[in-house]
């Protein structure tokens, strides 16, 4: 669905406490989360504006968001 929210808390509500703790106490996690959130916002804005960028660029952005999400999720599981 276009414009869907993929924030970490939305994607992993069962980890909301760990997300908040890691965001506060782990600078690397916080930086990666900011990057993930920024990519998610950018993708949503582009989707809602009918993707006024090249499909290859959009695909790369979604790939980058997915890779960050996977990395953040693995860290959440270990926390």
- Tens place of pLDDT for every residue, the chain, 79 residues? 566 788 899 999 999 999 999 999 999 999 999 999 999 999 988 888 877 788 899 999 999 999 999 999 999 999 8
Identify whether the C-beta of residue 22 lies closer than 8 Å to the C-beta of residue 37: no
Kindly tell me the burial class for residue 1, based on how many C-beta atoms sit within 10 Å of its own C-beta (0-12, 13-18, 19 or more).
exposed
User: Using CA of residue 15, residue 20, residue 23, residue 25, what is the dihedral sign?
Assistant: negative
**Six-digit token string for 69:** 């999400």
Domain boundaries, the chain: 8-78
């Amino acid at each position: 669905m276009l414009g869907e929210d993929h924030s970490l808390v939305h994607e992993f509500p069962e980890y909301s406490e760990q997300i908040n703790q890691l965001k506060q106490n782990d600078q690397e996690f916080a930086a990666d989360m900011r990057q993930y959130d920024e990519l998610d916002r950018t993708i949503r804005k582009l989707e809602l504006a009918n993707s006024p960028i090249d499909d290859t660029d959009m695909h790369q952005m979604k790939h980058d968001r997915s890779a960050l999400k996977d990395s953040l999720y693995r860290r959440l599981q270990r926390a």
